[in-house]
Structure 1
Amino acid sequence: MKLRNIFAAGCLLLSSPLLANAQEQEGVWVTYYLKAETNAVTGLMQIAVKDGKEAIPASYSMNRIERFISEDCAGGKVGPITLGKQKTKRKWKFIRQEFETTCSGGPHSSIPTTTGRVQVQVKRQADGRDLAEYFYGQNGNMVTTTRYR
């Protein structure tokens, strides 16, 4: 089965509320970059786990990814998400999907960056909560902060 078909099947599965939670299992992640100088948001998301030759859908729903980005964006509004290339990371046994969207205003003021660029990684924890890690520059230092969502 082609990766594009796997992703399409995963999207259909994620449209059901009961199945969406099953897909958002421990270890599922999304990473995105917010920049003050542009409205562009770029990112990667896990869409499946490889089990031998089989790809098992495992991802956040698109609605949840939009919500994560809107909470971290100063403008709060997220544009349509455009999907890019899919890649298989054999070493870590997952399939990832590139994406792009927009949000105005750069990073939210609650993220105290002085560089205007933030990398956000959100990962599902065993207890069902989502842990967001923020990586940014502050006064010449690289800073990492975390918070549960």
Structure 2
Amino acid sequence: MSALKMVLWRNAISLSYPNIKVSKTVIQFFYIGSMFNFFRKKSKSAVYSLDALASYANKDKYFVRVARFMELDANQCTITVIDPYAPRMITMDSWPETIFLNATGQRTVKQFIEDTAERYNGHIPSKLDSFIISELEKLVFEYRIIELTDFPNALQAQFEKPVPKSSK
């Protein structure tokens, strides 16, 4: 299972089951269970509402990361971003981390939110779209580590992969 998929599953489990301690084993259990529809409560055609997305002004913009990052723990999928504007490191919660890792410049905000909503198989948390939009706007306007563009664009080479850990 890829690191990005692990982060998405960790987020989904944390939102749906806040009392469960999420480990790699728990993520794999839920992932396998979802493949066999063990946790399905509603039909797959369940309709969900993305009202905040519908009225969001930047929904058709592409989002791309403009900061370097390092992996702190490959098992936990935790990264830290090197702030391009100050001498500091930014450690993120799982949702901002997911948004940052998905900021490849190839999908619009709308596509990302719809794809994320589909991963919940009809059990979309209420206000998922407004939550993702607020987290994205922090990364764009407060931290300035993601940019919104009108057209798809490729990641700059230095932002594609994690910075290797320095050998001490």
More strand by share: 1
More helix by share: 2
Relative contact order higher in (CA < 8 Å, ≥ 6 apart): 2
TM-score normalized by structure 1? 0.26
Structure with greater Cα Rg: 2
TM-score normalized by structure 2? 0.24
